[in-house]
């Protein structure tokens, strides 16, 4: 009996679905919306910097030592104009001149100057005069640092060091 009742109910529902009129869509309403994203300019010093290494010198050398093996990379948003400044932390000056010391308390140091290229264009931290300019391309851009020391005459045998801050202005 339950099966007969179920069959009758199913037949009734099927019959109703055939006889109910379906309304055709006769009009369309439309509108629009905006989609956006704001890309802001950004720059970063990326990767690992390499040491500007003047190598080994004798303390009787009277001429300057040169190096061109220091470097770092910058990544800026595509089209972003930027300037890179270098500032030795051993001095308050923005002229690219620093002082390497083995022991800051003993007063011995070796002065050095940072350069942007082999033509000795000074690389300092004054955004109006001695920084290196570039345009971001969205990729990592490598920058080589050149340098020269003053004379190493009569300084104590030791490893002399300094730290250089890398500043990107954009």
Burial class (CB in 10 A: 0-12, 13-18, 19+), 22: exposed
CA-to-CA separations, 82 to 59, 62, 130, 135, 166, in angstroms, rounded: 40, 38, 13, 6, 13
Residue 57 has pLDDT above 70, yes or no: yes
Q: Write the pLDDT tens digit of every residue in 99-152.
A: 999 987 888 999 999 999 999 999 999 999 999 999 999 999 999 999 999 888
Contacts of residue 159, defined as CB under 8 A and 6 or more positions apart, other chains included, come to: 102
pTM for the whole structure: 0.79
CA distance 124 to 146: 12
Half-sphere exposure for 114 (CA within 13 Å, toward CB): 34
pLDDT digits (tens, 9 = 90+) for 124-137: 999 999 999 999 99
Enumerate domains of the chain plus CATH numbers: 43-169 (2.60.40.1090)
Between CA 166 and CA 45 the distance in angstroms is: 8
Mean per-residue pLDDT for 81-103?
Answer: 96
Q: How much of the chain is helix, strand and coil, in % rounded to 5?
A: 10, 35, 55
The Cα–Cα gap between 45 and 68 comes to 19
Pick left, alpha or beta for residue 56 (phi over 0 → left; psi -120 to 50 → alpha; otherwise beta). beta
Q: Is the pLDDT of residue 4 over 60?
A: no
* 98 pLDDT higher than 90: yes
Q: What is the overall mean pLDDT for the chain?
A: 89
């Amino acid at each position: 009996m339950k099966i007969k009742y179920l069959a009758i109910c199913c037949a009734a529902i099927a019959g109703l679905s055939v006889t109910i009129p379906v309304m055709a869509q006769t009009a369309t309403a439309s509108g629009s919306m905006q989609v956006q994203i704001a890309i802001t300019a950004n720059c970063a010093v990326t990767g690992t910097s390499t040491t500007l290494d003047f190598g080994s010198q004798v303390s009787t050398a009277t001429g300057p030592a040169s190096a061109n093996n220091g470097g770092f990379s910058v990544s800026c948003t595509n089209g972003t104009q930027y300037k890179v400044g270098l500032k030795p932390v051993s001095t308050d000056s923005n002229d690219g001149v620093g002082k390497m010391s083995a022991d800051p308390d003993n007063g011995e140091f070796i002065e050095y100057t940072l350069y942007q290229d082999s033509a000795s264009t000074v690389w300092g931290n004054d955004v109006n005069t001695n920084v290196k300019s570039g345009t971001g391309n969205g990729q990592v851009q490598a920058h080589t640092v050149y340098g020269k020391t003053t004379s190493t005459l009569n300084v104590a045998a030791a490893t002399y060091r300094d730290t250089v801050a890398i500043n990107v202005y954009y």
